[in-house]
Amino acid sequence: MPENGNTDTTDAIVVARDGPIATVFLNRPERRNALDRSMWQTLGDVCAALGQDSSLRCLILRGTGGKAFAAGADIDTFETERGDPATARTYDRIMRRALAAVRDHPYPVVAAIEGACLGGGLALAAVADLRLCGQGSRFGVPVSRLGLPMPIPEIETIMRLTGPAPMLEILLEARIFGAEKAFALGLVHRVVADDAVGTEAFATAQRIAAGAPLVHRWHRRFVRRLLDPTPVTDADLEEGHRFFDTEDYREGLAAFREKRAPLFKGK
């Protein structure tokens, strides 16, 4: 965890703030940051609260301990939290809310992956906007060895990155694979030295934070709209003209003319 910046702890989630960048740590290193129902609930709550902070510009997701981003779901809690259809439905609803809170967060999200990134941990990383990992990071969805199917929402988040054929390979073979294959499959954008993951994630967040937050929001929306096979409409195109009415657009032009860094306010 960072030595500088403000830190707030909530159960197994730690939030560290450094200016416009917040890092949300999955904080169960003794369990390789395995996710249980309470952790999903807290993660959803924390991300929702951070989404209300107008001074925020970027969010980083990271695991503590250096050995895992998140090694999937906590198997020790399966009997109590996913032991029958009723409890599994509750678990899945809480998990879906957390995944949506990250995927639909008002500010861009960067996943900094160190060590194991498996099962639900991989699904969580997949809903981030950008993902980078260390050379020694490991990926996979070995749930078939437990006689357990991966829920559809988790499969969907990963399959949007890989496509259906690689997704079936990941699910059916249940292999654990390295950073090189993860990069080839499109699961990560960048592979760096293991000891550089945190530094590179923060540098990435700083580059994002320097841009206009409303423009980031539009770009993320436009990319997702283009995943919809229906034709782009006039309303979609008109959405791209709304920036002319923003303070940030005027500030960006003024800063360019005055040869200074812009001070965007998200307005």
**60: β partners:** 23, 110
Query: Is residue 182 scored above 70 in pLDDT?
Result: yes
Q: What is the mean pLDDT of the chain?
A: 89
Which domains, from first to last, does the chain contain?
Answer: 6-209 (3.90.226.10), 213-258 (1.10.12.10)
**Helices (DSSP H) in the chain: which residue ranges?**
37-50, 78-81, 85-103, 120-126, 152-162, 164-173, 179-184, 197-209, 213-226, 234-239, 247-258
CB 58 within 8 A of CB 20: yes
Q: For residue 216, give the nearest of 147, 151, 129 by alpha carbon.
A: 129
CB atoms within 10 A of CB 200: 18
Instruction: Find the mean pLDDT for residues 15-23.
Output: 96
Q: Which of the pair, 164 or 78, is modelled with greater confidence?
A: 164
CB atoms within 10 A of CB 261: 8
Q: What is the pLDDT of residue 83?
A: 67
Q: For residue 129, give the nearest of 57, 196, 71 by alpha carbon.
A: 57
pTM score: 0.89
Q: Which of the pair, 262 or 159, is modelled with greater confidence?
A: 159
